[in-house]
Amino acid sequence: MSKSYSFHWDHLYPFLEDVYRPEDEKLRLIRERSHNKGLSPIQVGNFDGLHLEVITRMVNPRRVVEVGTLGGYSAVCMARGLTEGGKIWTLEIDPAAAKVARENISFAQVDDRVEVIEGPALQSLVYLEKLGPFDMIFIDADKISYPKYLEWAEVHLRVGGVLIADNTFGWGRLLDQKFSTPAEKMSIEGLVAFNQRLASSPRFRATILPTGEGLSLAVKAK
């Protein structure tokens, strides 16, 4: 019999939060401020932020791309794991979010290593190509385009580079057949295709970490 895949001990959460301290005062303020400025509270969870920092420290990247900035919460987490000389380009389509993100990134004093690029990510990625290859990419924007972002990463990550993607459990709806809007249907279909393509790609070795919303983690093997 196989051991279980995910976390079953919600009662331990306060203890774990108290011990690991996933979100310090600065991140708490960034989250609060983003919300007060009208952004939806959909930044990564507190422990996901810590995962991102620790993974960044492990990968030791010089060039990172984030797709989907929102208020810069996850960008600040990754920036904390970045060594001297590393750089994060983070892509955001919503000018209001980009503005808040720039403020938060300055507040966190990582504006020397994080650059917010405003516009549709698929366009910004074309612009970024000449700055690659990249060591790490974090995908966390519109779910419809996840397969496209993966295609880009297949080409523009270096061999040994790491891909991370948030929300890949699709809020539990990956197997659903009924949707209330076409947009909802396309988002879930995007996440299904993303999981299938990543898991079976000959260029990646991939897993999916059982975080609250599913965090795909892959290394470009060839």
Q: What is the CA angle 48-144-79, rounded to 5?
A: 30
Task: Look at residue 73 and give the partner it binds from Mg ion, ligand DHB, ligand SAH, none, a contact being a CB closer than 5 to 8 Å depending on partner kind.
Answer: ligand SAH
Q: Which is nearer to ligand DHB, 135 or 142 (CB)?
A: 142
Helix or strand run (H / E) with residue 164: strand 157-166
Regarding 56 and contact with ligand DHB (CB under 6 A), the answer is: no
Task: Look at residue 86 and give the partner it binds from ligand DHB, ligand SAH, Mg ion, none, a contact being a CB closer than 5 to 8 Å depending on partner kind.
Answer: none
Total count of residues recorded for the chain = 222
Single-letter code of the amino acid located at 73: Y
Q: Which is nearer to ligand SAH, 91 or 108 (CB)?
A: 91
Q: What is the three-state SS of 134-149?
A: EEEEEECCCHHHHHHH
Give the CA count within 13 Å in the CB-facing half-sphere of 69. 33
Q: Which of 90, 140, 145, 170 binds ligand DHB (CB under 6 A)?
A: 140
Regarding 42 and contact with ligand DHB (CB under 6 A), the answer is: yes
Contacts of 196 (CB under 8 A, 6+ apart): none
Regarding 135 and contact with ligand DHB (CB under 6 A), the answer is: no
Regarding 195 and contact with ligand DHB (CB under 6 A), the answer is: no
Regarding 174 and contact with ligand DHB (CB under 6 A), the answer is: no
Q: Which positions lie near ligand DHB, rule CB under 6 A?
A: 42, 68, 140, 166-167
